[in-house]
Structure 1
Amino acid sequence: MDLSTVFSLQDKVALITGASKGIGYGIAEIFAAAGAKVIISSRKQEALDEKAEQLKRKGYEVTGIACNVGNMDELPPLVEKSVAKYGQIDILVNNAASNPVFGPVHETSLEAFDKIMDVNVKAPFELTRLCFPHLRKSASASVINISSIGGLSPETGLGIYSVSKAALISLTKVYAKEWGDAKIRVNAICPGLIQTKFSEALWTNDKIMGMIMKQLAIKRAGTADEIGAMALFLASQASSYTTGAILTADGGFTI
């Protein structure tokens, strides 16, 4: 077996949402290093252009396409522009997420509920569906949903966010089961505490960090690169017999 090709994404095109920072950017950099042509997407084109330029300076093929995934009308143009640029989509990473509230679930407004569900569940459902005609043409299509350990067991202060991530896990399994015949693999990653801007409310709170550390086998926060490496496994032929899997990267929090 030639291990240099097992994890290669050469000649593959990957579309990654929420990719101008944090976990999404970490995944984008690793995919590009593995040989993929990468489309990074988030809401602001200026931020995407800056990040794409950083990766291009390393010799990678990266394009930024702005899209607010919470607006369903912006999803078809994202797919159309991606295909117009590279002619195909082989890998889709649904990473973009929203959590505008932190606190008791009964204090979550209906407006916040709708925003969380639109970005965290409805957008992955619709974007994955829109990519189907292109994914089915690929010799090794892979969809990777970034869920959360909150989707396995609700996290304190993150009630509806946890609900949305549980729904994303179920959606992952539904697509995996239905799209096996189309040779499209669909899997999910459930990160634990990853030190990014998105989770700043947690890792900057000494009380919360103290409680988390007591439950971790590996007593530190994770990094975006560590999620990116797991995503590479799921995107590559290394996981060619893996679909419907829900993988944790949480330092042992859910043991």
Structure 2
Amino acid sequence: MPLASKGLTFGAEIQRDPKPEDYINASFIYHIPPVNTWRAELDFDKIDYIATQGPMKSTCGDFWRMIVEQKATGIVMLTNLRDGKQVLCHQYWPEELNRTEEYTSGPVQIKVKLEKEIKHPEVTERAFQVTSSIEPNKCFTVWHLHMTSWPDMGVPDMIQLEGLMDKHQVLRRSNELEGPTVVHCRAGLGRTGTFIVSELLRKHVHEGAYVDIAGIILQLRRCRPFMVENVKQYIFLHEYANALISDPARGVSE
């Protein structure tokens, strides 16, 4: 179980004794501000991300219910749907433009319409129109950034990763995104953790803060165990930090 957040529950603000079926395998990732000392710390007053596993066929409704309840309007997806015949993540959005799919989670119904899909070299960008039975008269847009070139248990191409982060930050700065960004790969651990640490490193380096990679990972693992899964990903983060420090203009999106 995640240590700091212990997983998300549906309707957590009104449930005093949530049932097992009310839990979803997702974790709040709290803010880790830049520091001028050697130790990174969590700021429990702000949630920057929600880290989760890729939805299964049986949990797509739960995934969208989480999006609605947490008022998250951005998703970063870091996995392919399949690897050969093996399903890595169920497709939780409509196949075709302007098509609407309906999903159910307990008493909640969610409708998702694919409004836009643009394929860039490093990422596919989608926009969904979402409505739910929680607030049936309210419709909101959820942005979806999908990177398919990052291998499971591996590391990304650094340039492609920066392109993905650029698009995420452009949406964030233009106020298109509200609430925490939902980030997932297959299990919501290795690639998800590496992406989040990469964004934090870029922010911390540009603000002239102390670069504490081990400390950041330690704090992330307080939120969700096993974030950044292996040595390859750990080495990649040091290489990326070195690239940022060596070239101060690197990673500064327009």
TM over 0.5: no
Normalising by structure 1, we get a TM-score of 0.33
TM, length-normalised to structure 2: 0.34
- Give the structure with the larger helix fraction: 1
Greater RCO, CA 8 A, separation 6+: 2
